[in-house]
C-alpha cells in the first residue's frame, strides 16, 4: 500500500529539516605510544555541530577491509557533540587487520506521540588502517630519564663504598642507641629480646629486620649477653638462626651460639602476642627490640615491655602502628628509617650505596619542588609539566 503523496512530503520535509550535515575529513591512524590494539579516529565536525544545532553526537562505525573490499560496518563507539576524536583504548582491534572507519552525525528527538526519532548522516570512509604496538612510549621519556639518573647515582655510590670511601649517612637516634641498649642488658645481667613481627621472609620489613638482628647478635655475642628471638613464622626461624649463628662466628664466639635462641612460638597473631608478653613478665629483660611488620599486637607488646622497665627500640613501616611504638618505646624508627637502619648498621657497600643514591635522588626532587613552586607562583613556567606521566 502506497502512502498518500501529502504524507510522503511531510516525512521527507521533516527528515530534511532535522538531519544534520555529515562530518568531513575523517582520518584513522594507529594510536601512538601504546601496546597495540587501538586506533584513533579524527574528523572535522558537522557544520550543524554548534549550540542549539542538529548534532546530538557522533557514532563511530567500523568494518574490516579484506581483499580490497569492506565487510559489514558495525557501530563500535560514540561520542557527544563537540568531540572530534575517538580512540578505542580498550584494545578492541586486532593488530595486523585492516579497518575502515566512518563517522555518523546523529540527531534525536521525540515526536508528538512520544516516539524517539533519529536522523543521521554518514561521512565518507577513511583510508584503511591497522593497529600495532610500539617499542617505546615517547610520552614517558621523563620517567626513563629519572630512572637512568637515579640508577647512575646508586651505582656511583655503590662503587664509592666498595672503594672504601666514607659515605655520610644521617645519624638515626634509634640505631645510635643499640650499643647502649645491649650494654645496659649486659650490666644488669638480663636478657635481650628481639621481636621480628608477624611478617614472613617475603616481606621487606622482615628482611630489613634480619639485617638489624645480625648487628644486635654481634654485640650480644661480644658482650656475652643472652639474645632471645621468639618468632611466629617457620622460615623466619630458619633465617634468624643462620643470621645469629653467623654473627656469633664473626666475633669469634661460635661455641656460644645456641639454636634455641631463635625459636618458633605460633602463627596465630594474638597467641604469639600472649606468649611473648608472658615471657616479658616472667623473665623481665633489660632490652627489647621490635623490628619488622606489626599489626594490632604492637601496643600490647610495647606496653608490656614498658611496664617492666625495659629499654625498647622499635621500627616498622606500618603507619597505623607507629603511634603506639612512639608512645610506649624509647626510640622508634619511622617508616623507611627501618630500611635505612639495615644499611646503617651492616655497612654493606651495596646497601650503603643504594641508600646514598636514593637520598641524592630525593634531594633533587625536593629542589625541583621548591623551584617549581616559585616558578608557578609567579606564572613564569609550569615545571610540573616535566613530571607529568600520561
Q: Tens digits of per-residue pLDDT, 210-265? A: 999 999 999 999 999 999 999 999 999 999 999 999 999 999 999 999 999 999 99
Average pLDDT estimate for 98-125 = 90
- Give the pLDDT mean for 76-98: 87
Instruction: Report the distance separating Cα 293 and Cα 179, nearest Å.
Output: 23
Q: Which of 190, 171, 186, 179 is nearest to 333 (CA)?
A: 171
Residue 90's pLDDT is 61
Residue with cell 628471638: 229
Which three three-digit cell numbers place residue 147?
630512572
Region of poorest pLDDT, from 43-57, 319-333, 375-389: 375-389
Check: CB of residue 23 under 8 Å from CB of residue 58: yes
Average pLDDT of the residues of the chain: 90
Parts of the chain belonging to CATH 2.60.40.10:
13-122
Of the pLDDT bands very low, low, confident and very high (cuts 50, 70, 90), residue 345 is confident
Q: Select 167-347's CATH number: 3.30.450, 1.10.357, 3.40.50, 1.25.10.
A: 3.40.50
d(CA 130, CA 300): 63
- The band of 91, judged by pLDDT with boundaries at 50, 70 and 90, is low
In this prediction the pTM is: 0.67
All three cell numbers of 168: 655520610
The segment(s) of the chain belonging to CATH 3.40.50 are 167-347
Provide mean pLDDT across the span 116-128.
92
Architecture of domain 13-122: Sandwich (2.60)
What are φ and ψ of residue 162, in 5° steps?
-65, -30
Percent of the chain scored above 90 by pLDDT?
A: 66
Q: Using CA atoms, how far apart are residues 348 and 334, in angstroms rounded to an integer?
A: 21
Mean pLDDT of 360-379: 90
Residue 300 has pLDDT above 90, yes or no: yes
Radius of gyration of the chain (CA): 35
Strands lying side by side in the sheet with 227-231 = 262-264, 227-231, 192-197, 287-293, 311-316, 331-334
Question: How many Cβ atoms are within 10 Å of 281's Cβ, its own excluded?
Answer: 12
Quick one: pLDDT band at residue 13, thresholds 50, 70, 90? Answer: low
pLDDT at 8: 39
CB atoms inside a 10 Å sphere around CB 80: 9
φ/ψ of 75, rounded to 5, equals: -70, 130
Amino acid at each position: 500500500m502506497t502512502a498518500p503523496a501529502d504524507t510522503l512530503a511531510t516525512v521527507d520535509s521533516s527528515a530534511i529539516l532535522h538531519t544534520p550535515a555529515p562530518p568531513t575529513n575523517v582520518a584513522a591512524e594507529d594510536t601512538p605510544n601504546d601496546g597495540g590494539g587501538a586506533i584513533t579516529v579524527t574528523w572535522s565536525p558537522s557544520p550543524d555541530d554548534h549550540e542549539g544545532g542538529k548534532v546530538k553526537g557522533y557514532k563511530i562505525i567500523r568494518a574490516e577491509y579484506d581483499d580490497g573490499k569492506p565487510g559489514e560496518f558495525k557501530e563500535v563507539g560514540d561520542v557527544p557533540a563537540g568531540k572530534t576524536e575517538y580512540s578505542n583504548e580498550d584494545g578492541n582491534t586486532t593488530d595486523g587487520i585492516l579497518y575502515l572507519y566512518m563517522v555518523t552525525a546523529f540527531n534525536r528527538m521525540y515526536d508528538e506521540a512520544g516516539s524517539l526519532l533519529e536522523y543521521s548522516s554518514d561521512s565518507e570512509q577513511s583510508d584503511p588502517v591497522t593497529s600495532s604496538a610500539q617499542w617505546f612510549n615517547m610520552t614517558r621519556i621523563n620517567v626513563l630519564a629519572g630512572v637512568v639518573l637515579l640508577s647512575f647515582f646508586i651505582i656511583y655510590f655503590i662503587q664509592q663504598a666498595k672503594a672504601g670511601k666514607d659515605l655520610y649517612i644521617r645519624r638515626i637516634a634509634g640505631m645510635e642507641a643499640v650499643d647502649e641498649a645491649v650494654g645496659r642488658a649486659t650490666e644488669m645481667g638480663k636478657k635481650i629480646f628481639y621481636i621480628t613481627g608477624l611478617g614472613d621472609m617475603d616481606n621487606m620489613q622482615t628482611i630489613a629486620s634480619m639485617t638489624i638482628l645480625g648487628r644486635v647478635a654481634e654485640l650480644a655475642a661480644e658482650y656475652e649477653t643472652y639474645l632471645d628471638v621468639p618468632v611466629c613464622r617457620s622460615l623466619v626461624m630458619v633465617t634468624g638462626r643462620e643470621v645469629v649463628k653467623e654473627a656469633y662466628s664473626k666475633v669469634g664466639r661460635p661455641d656460644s651460639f645456641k639454636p634455641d635462641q631463635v625459636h618458633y612460638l605460633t602463627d596465630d597473631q594474638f597467641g604469639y602476642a600472649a606468649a611473648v608478653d608472658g615471657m616479658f613478665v616472667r623473665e623481665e629483660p633489660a632490652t627489647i627490640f621490635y623490628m619488622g611488620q606489626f599489626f594490632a599486637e604492637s601496643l600490647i607488646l610495647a606496653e608490656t615491655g614498658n611496664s617492666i622497665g625495659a629499654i625498647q627500640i622499635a621500627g616498622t613501616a606500618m603507619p597505623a602502628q607507629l603511634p603506639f611504638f612512639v608512645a610506649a618505646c624509647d626510640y622508634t624508627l619511622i617508616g623507611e628509617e627501618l630500611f635505612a637502619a639495615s644499611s646503617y648498621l651492616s655497612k654493606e657497600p651495596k646497601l650503603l650505596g643504594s641508600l646514598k643514591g636514593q637520598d641524592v635522588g630525593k634531594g633533587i626532587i625536593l629542589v625541583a619542588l621548591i623551584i617549581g613552586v616559585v616558578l608557578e607562583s609567579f606564572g613564569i613556567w609550569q615545571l610540573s609539566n616535566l613530571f607529568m606521566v600520561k
